[in-house]
Structure 1
Amino acid sequence: MNQGGNKIGGADSASRAKTRASGGGAPSGGSPALSIVIPAYDEAGNVGPLLEEVRREADALGRSYEIVVVNDGSRDGTDRALDELARGDARIRVIHFAANFGQTAALAAGLEAATGDVIITMDGDRQNDPSEMRRLIEKLDEGYACVSGWRRDRHDDALRSFASRIANRLISKATSLPLHDYGCTLKAYRRDALDPSQLYGEMHRFLPVYVRARGGSVAEIVVRHRPRVVGVSKYGFSRIPRVLADLALVRLLFKYRTRPSHLFAKVAGYLFATGALVGGYGVVRGLGKAPILDMPVLLAAVLGVGSLSLVGIGLCCELVMRNHFYVLGRRPWRIARTVNLPDPAATGMVSDRTAPTKAVQGHAPL
Structure 2
Amino acid sequence: MSDITFFSVVVPVFNEEENLPVLYDEISRAAAVTGKEWEVVFVDDGSKDRSLDVIKELAAKSSHVRFVALRNNCGQSAAFSAGFEAARGDVIVTMDADLQNDPADIPSMLAEYARGFDMVIGWRANRKDTVAKKIASKIGNRIRNWLSEETVRDTGCSLKVMRSSMAKRIPMFTGMHRFLPTLMKCQGATVSEVRVNHRPRLHGTSKYGIWDRAKTTFFDLLAIRWMKKRYICYAIKEKN
- Say if 2:179 is the partner of 1:195: no
> Deviation of residue 57 (structure 1)?
1.1
- Say if 2:151 is the partner of 1:178: yes
Q: Report the Cα distance in structure 2 between the residues aligned to 1:177 and 1:245, rounded to whole angstroms.
A: 16
- Say if 2:67 is the partner of 1:83: no
Describe how 1:84-163 pairs up with structure 2 within 5 A: 84-163=57-136
Q: Report the Cα distance in structure 2 between the residues aligned to 1:38 and 1:99, rounded to whole angstroms.
A: 16
> Deviation of residue 196 (structure 1)?
5.1
Describe how 1:178-257 pairs up with structure 2 within 5 A: 178-195=151-168, 198-237=171-210, 238-256=212-230
Q: Report the Cα distance in structure 2 between the residues aligned to 1:56 and 1:139, rounded to whole angstroms.
A: 19
Structure 2: state its 5+ residue gaps: none
Q: Report the Cα distance in structure 2 between the residues aligned to 1:51 and 1:256, rounded to whole angstroms.
A: 40
> Deviation of residue 19 (structure 1)?
1.8
Q: Report the Cα distance in structure 2 between the residues aligned to 1:180 and 1:210, rounded to whole angstroms.
A: 16
Q: For residues 77 and 196 of structure 1, do their structure 2 counterparts lie closer, same or farther at Cα, with a shift above 3 Å needed?
A: farther
Q: Report the Cα distance in structure 2 between the residues aligned to 1:91 and 1:196, rounded to whole angstroms.
A: 25
1:99-158 Cα distance to aligned partner (Å, 9 max, x none): 100011001110111111111100000110000001111111111111110111111111
Match of 1:302 in 2: none
- Say if 2:2 is the partner of 1:18: yes
- Say if 2:23 is the partner of 1:39: no
Contact 1:41 1:78 in 2 (8 A): yes
> Deviation of residue 175 (structure 1)?
2.2
Describe how 1:269-288 pairs up with structure 2 within 5 A: none
Opposite residue 165 of structure 1, the aligned amino acid is K
Opposite residue 53 of structure 1, the aligned amino acid is E
- Say if 2:42 is the partner of 1:69: yes
SS of 1:200's partner is coil
Structure 1 or 2: larger strand share? 2
Q: Report the Cα distance in structure 2 between the residues aligned to 1:257 and 1:148, rounded to whole angstroms.
A: 22
SS of 2:19's partner is helix
Contact 1:41 1:74 in 2 (8 A): yes
Structure 1: state its 5+ residue gaps: 1-16, 21-26, 28-32, 259-361
Contact 1:50 1:126 in 2 (8 A): yes
Opposite residue 224 of structure 2, the aligned amino acid is V
1:252-274 Cα distance to aligned partner (Å, 9 max, x none): 1112457xxxxxxxxxxxxxxxx
Aligned length: 233
TM-score (norm 1): 0.61
1:71-103 Cα distance to aligned partner (Å, 9 max, x none): 000011101111111011122001111110001
Match of 1:6 in 2: none
Contact 2:170 2:183 in 1 (8 A): no
Runs of 4+ in 1 over 3 A off after TM superposition: none
Match of 2:138 in 1: 165
Contact 1:19 1:118 in 2 (8 A): no
Q: Report the Cα distance in structure 2 between the residues aligned to 1:199 and 1:170, rounded to whole angstroms.
A: 22
Q: Report the Cα distance in structure 1 between the residues aligned to 2:209 and 2:31, rounded to whole angstroms.
A: 31
Q: Report the Cα distance in structure 2 between the residues aligned to 1:43 and 1:162, rounded to whole angstroms.
A: 26
Opposite residue 249 of structure 1, the aligned amino acid is A
What is the root-mean-square deviation in Å for CA atoms of aligned residues?
1.7
Structure 1 or 2: larger helix share? 1
Contact 1:67 1:92 in 2 (8 A): yes
Quick one: percent identity of the two aligned structures? Answer: 36
Contact 1:112 1:196 in 2 (8 A): no
Q: Which has the larger radius of gyration?
A: 1
